[in-house]
Structure 1
Amino acid sequence: MKNALFGLLLALQFLTRIPIPIAVPWTPDTRRWAVRAYPLVGLLIGGVLVLLAFVMHDAPAPITALAILSVWVVLSGGLHLDGVMDIADALGSNQPLARRWEIMKDPQIGSFGMLALLFLLAWKGVLLWALLTYQAPLWWLLVVPALGRWAGVALLVLTPCAQPKGLAWSWQQSLSGQDVALALLPLALIALLAPPVVLIGLTVMVFVVLMRWFMLRLFNGINGDMVGATIEGGELWLLILVWSWWQFATVSPLGI
Structure 2
Amino acid sequence: MKNAFYGGALALQFLTRLPVPIACPWTPKTRRWAIRAYPLVGLLLGGLLALLALLLQNAPTPIAALALLSLWVGLSGGLHLDGVMDLADALGSNQPLARRWEIMKDPQIGSFGILALLFLLAWKGALLWALLQYGAPLWWLVVLPSLGRWGGAMLLVFTPCAQQTGLAWAWKQSLGLRDVLLALVPLLLLALFWPGIMAMCLATGLFVVASRWALMTLFQGINGDMVGATIEGGELWLMGLMLSWWWYAMALPPGM
TM-score (norm 1): 0.99
Distance 1:199 1:45, change over 3 A: same
1:112 is the counterpart of 2:116: no
Contact 1:216 1:222 in 2 (8 A): yes
The number of residue pairs the alignment matches comes to 256
Q: CA RMSD in A?
A: 0.8
1:80 aligns with 2:108: no
Cross-structure match for 1:48:
48
Alignment of 1:112-151 (within 5 A): 112-151=112-151
Which runs of 5 or more structure 2 residues have no equivalent in the other structure?
none
Distance 2:226 2:102 in 1: 15
- Residue matched to 2:194: 194
TM-score norm. by structure 2 comes to 0.99
TM superposition shift of 1:200: 1.2
Name the residue aligned to 2:29: 29
Could you report, residue by residue, the CA deviation over 1:30-50 in whole angstroms, capped at 9, with x for unpaired residues? 000000000000000000000
- Partner Cα separation in structure 1 for residue 234 and residue 245 of structure 2: 16
1:225 aligns to what? 225
Residue-by-residue CA offset, 1:109-140 (whole Å, 9 max, x unaligned)? 00000000000000000000000001111000
Percent identity between matched residues is 71
Secondary structure of 1:82's partner?
helix
1:245-256 matches, cutoff 5 A: 245-253=245-253
For residues 177-233 of structure 1, what are the alpha-carbon distances to aligned partners after superposition, in whole Å with 9 as ceiling and x for unaligned? 111111001112221111111011101100000000011000000000000001000
Q: Which residue does the alignment assign to 1:169?
A: 169
Say if 2:70 is the partner of 1:70. Answer: yes
Runs of 4+ in structure 1 off by over 6 angstroms are: none
Alignment partners' CA distance in 2, 1:248 and 1:158: 34
Q: Which amino acid aligns with 1:184?
A: L
CA contact (8 A) 1:249 1:255 kept: no
- CA deviation after TM superposition for structure 1 residue 174, in Å: 0.3
Q: Which residue of 2 aligns with 1:210?
A: 210
- Give the Cα separation in 2 of the matches to 1:235 and 1:30: 26
Q: Secondary structure at the match of 2:161?
A: coil
AA paired with 1:64? A
Take 2:128 and 2:192, find their aligned partners in 1: how far apart are those partners?
Answer: 24
Map of 1:103 onto structure 2: 103
Q: CA deviation at 1:255?
A: 5.2
